[in-house]
Chains A and B, each alone.
Chain A
Amino acid sequence: MTSSSVDWRNRFGSTWLTKVKDQGGCGSCYIYGSVGVFEAMLRIEHHVWCRRDEDDVKNAISLTFGAASACGGGGPDHVLTWITANGVTDQITAPSSKISLGHPTPDRLGRTSRLDKDGIVAVKKAHVTLSGVEQMKQWVDLTGPITACFNCYPDLDKSCKDDAVYTPPANGTAGSDGHCVMIVGYDDHKKAWLIRNSWGTGWGTGGYGWFAYGTAGKNDENALEHRVCYGIPGGATNPDPWSKRRLHNGNFYESGNGTYHRNFEVFAQGPGGAVRHYVQNGKTLEWSLHETLPEVTLAPDFKKKGNDCAAQPTVFGSTYFRNFEILYLTTANELRHRLFDQTSQTWIDHGPLKNAAVKPAAPIMSAGGVPGFIQAAPGAPGNFELVVKNSQGGLDNWWRDDANNNAKWALKATFGANVRLSGATLVQRWAKGGAPYADLPAGLDLVCVTGEKVMQRFWRDDPNKAGWVACETFGNNVDSPPVMIRSQFGATDETVPGNYELCVAVDGAIEHWWMNGNPEPTTSGSWTMSEIFQTDRKGRKVKQVLGMVESSYGFDLEVVAELDNGALQHFSRDGAGWHAREVFA
C-alpha cells in the first residue's frame, strides 16, 4: 500500500532537494522541472549533492533552434531525451560568464551527470511516462519527484502562502498558460500534491506549494494529474566525478560504471611492483581482479619494460572524460602518473612527474609514503594538486595547471617539519558561501602523521593567500598513513560543507575520526573518534587503511584496508555501525 504522505524536502531524516531556483523572465519552466527531477534523483540514488545548470540545456536548445527558442516553451519529454544524449553539466562559473554547451569548458564531458537509457531494460528509455493518480503516487513514494505540466492560471502566482492548499479553477475557465513544476510529495490528508516551482523562494511557501488533487467533472482538467508526468528511475542516473570529488580518497573510488553506476574500483600494489585493479560489481556486490595494469618503460634508458610500483597508489576520476588518474611512488622514489583513457579504453603512462620549472626538467622525488593527489578548483578543468613528504621531513605541494592546459607540474609550496608520514588526505575546501563556482578561492586541507606519532591537519588558506597553515593535532601512537574525505553528513544542502571523515590504522585496528565541516574550521578544529573497529579474520590485524569512499549506498562509508598478511579487506559503515566485509585480495 502506497504511503499516505511523502515530502522529499525532508524524508528518512535527510534532505534531498537542492535550493529552489528562479527561471526569471524566461519561459523555461519545462527545463527547470526536468533538470530539477534529474538533480533530485541523483541525490536520492547516489546520496551526493549534484546541482545541475539549466543554462546548459537552454544554450543547447538556443543553438539548435535559435536564440529565443529556449524561452519560447517546450515539454519535459524533449528535455529528458536531450539530457539522455548529452548529460547536464554543473554550474561551472558565475552565471554571467555563459560557459555551457555553446561555450563549453574543455572538460564538459567529465562534468556532466548522465542518464543511461540502457540501464533499465524494462523501459528502454531513461525516463518513464506516468499516467494517473495511482502511478504518480507510487512513483513519488518509491522512486522520487516527477514533472507535472498543467493549465496554469494567474491566481497561482499569489497562492500557496503559509502552506495553504491551492485549488485550480473549474474546467473550462479561460485565461491559462502551460506551466511545468516538480511534484516532490503528496498528502492524502490535505488531498494535495506538494509542488516545487521555479519562481524563486518568494513564491508560495519558500518556493513550494500544495496543489489540490483534481475533482472529476469539476476541475480535473486543470489538475496536475490531467496530463502525463515524467519520472527518472534512480538506476539510470550516473553522477559526474566532479560532484563526487570530495567523497573518496586513497586507492578507492566509486565510478559510474556498472548496471547501477555504483561499481567500486580499487588500485593496489601487486607482486613484483605491478598495479592491480579490483572491482566490486555494483549489482552482485562481488569483488574480482579486473586487470593487472600494463608494464611501463623504465629508467634509465626507457627501453626496458617492467613494473615499478613501490607503495599503494592514490586514484581519482577526473573531469577529463571521467578518466581514472593514478599516482604512486616508484622503486626509484619518483612519482609515476598513469591514466585510464575512457575514450580509447586503454591505459596511458605519463611517466614519472617532472619539475618543469628547472632546465632540464628534473624528476619530482618523494621520501616515501602515500601521496595526496586530487583534482581541485580553481580552474576549469580543475588543477591537479599533489602533496608528498620530502627528504627534509617536510611536505611539498606540487600542482599542474590544467586551466591553461599546459600539463606542467610546478612546486607551489614547501611546508611542515618533522613529518613522519604523508597520506591520502588531501581534500578541497568550500569556497566562501558554498558557491559552486570554479573561480573563487577555496583552499585545501591535509592531515599527516608527525614524528610524535600524532596526526596534524594543515590548511592551505587560499582566500587570504596565507599559504599552508599548521592546525590542530589529534590521535596517539599513529604509525600508518591516514585517509580522509569530506562526507555528506551535515551537508543539509548543496552549499553547506559536509563533515571530515578520517580512518587510520592504529595498533592493528582502525580508528574512525570525524570533525564538523560547517563552518569550515580555521586552525583549531575539533576531532572526535567515533569508533574503533577490527578485521574479523582470526589472528589478523589491520596494517594500514588504503582508501575511503562515501558511497551511493545510503550515505555509507566504505574503507579498504591492508591486513598484516598483505590481504585487502573491505569495511563499511551503515546505520548500524561498521562491518567487516569481504577479503578480496
Chain B
Amino acid sequence: MGGKMSDSNPGPVFARGCDLSAVPLAADVAPADLKAILGVDTSNPYLRNLRIEQGFLKRETLPDGLRNLVPIKGILEPLPIREEPK
C-alpha cells in the first residue's frame, strides 16, 4: 500500500470533491483552547464522566442532578447501560 504512483496504477474509482486550498495546514493554525470548550457540560453521561476524569470538567460546577446519577468508573471501562431485551 502507498508508495510512489506509477503509470500502471489505476485512476480513482470514487469521486472526491475537496478543495484543499479551503482547508488550512494544521501547522499554520494556532491550537484552539480546548480547556474552555471541553470544560462545559454535555448531555452524554459517558462523555461527562470522561471530561471529569481527564480534568476538563469540574464536577462541582454541575447541578446536583448531574453529579451522581451515573456511576463514575475508569475511563476505559464502559459504564453500564440499562439495556432492555431486544
Q: Could you say which of A137-145, A304-312, A364-372, A416-424 contacts chain B?
A: A137-145
Query: In the complex, A159→B22 CA distance in Å?
Result: 26
Query: In the complex, A132→B24 CA distance in Å?
Result: 12
CB distance from A271 to the nearest CB of B (A): 28
Count of B residues near A, CB < 8 Å? 63
Query: In the complex, A14→B17 CA distance in Å?
Result: 32
Q: Which residue of B lies closest to A518 (CB)?
A: B86
Residues of B within 8 A of A31 (CB): 17
Does A157 contact B14, Cβ atoms closer than 8 Å? yes
Does A25 contact B15, Cβ atoms closer than 8 Å? yes
| Partner of B2 from A30, A219, A283, A574 at Cβ < 8 Å | A219
Interface residues as binary, B38-79 with A (CB distance below 8 Å gives 1, 0 otherwise): 111111111100110010100000011110011100011011
Residues of A within 8 A of B70 (CB): 554, 574-576
CB distance from A469 to the nearest CB of B (A): 25
Question: Could you count the A-B residue pairs with CB atoms below 8 Å apart for me: how many are there?
Answer: 242
Residues of A within 8 A of B31 (CB): 131-132, 135
Residues of B within 8 A of A235 (CB): 40-43
A2 interfacial contact with B, CB 8 Å: yes
Residues of B within 8 A of A2 (CB): 54
Residues of B within 8 A of A132 (CB): 26, 31
Known contacts A74-B18, A141-B50; is-contact A285 B36 (Cβ 8 Å) = no
Interface of B is mostly: loop
Does B16 contact A574, Cβ atoms closer than 8 Å? no
Does B14 contact A552, Cβ atoms closer than 8 Å? no
Chain B positions 17-40 with a Cβ under 8 Å from a chain A Cβ? 17-20, 22-27, 29-34, 36-40
Does B17 contact A554, Cβ atoms closer than 8 Å? no
CB distance from B9 to the nearest CB of A (A): 6
Residues of A within 8 A of B63 (CB): 283-286
Does A554 contact B45, Cβ atoms closer than 8 Å? yes
CB distance from A356 to the nearest CB of B (A): 42
| Partner of B18 from A30, A167, A530, A555 at Cβ < 8 Å | A30
| Partner of A73 from B10, B18, B25, B86 at Cβ < 8 Å | B18
Query: In the complex, A260→B12 CA distance in Å?
Result: 43
Residues of A within 8 A of B78 (CB): 11-13
Does A12 contact B84, Cβ atoms closer than 8 Å? no
Known contacts A142-B50, A226-B25; is-contact A574 B82 (Cβ 8 Å) = yes
Does A155 contact B79, Cβ atoms closer than 8 Å? no
A433 interfacial contact with B, CB 8 Å: no
Does A23 contact B26, Cβ atoms closer than 8 Å? no
> Which residue, B20, B39, B50, has most C-beta atoms of chain A within 10 A?
B20
Query: In the complex, A233→B38 CA distance in Å?
Result: 8
What are 22 A-B pairs with beta-carbon distances under 8 A? Answer: A12-B79, A12-B81, A25-B15, A74-B18, A77-B23, A129-B32, A142-B54, A154-B9, A157-B14, A158-B13, A167-B2, A173-B3, A178-B17, A234-B42, A235-B41, A262-B43, A285-B64, A285-B66, A499-B84, A573-B82, A575-B70, A576-B82
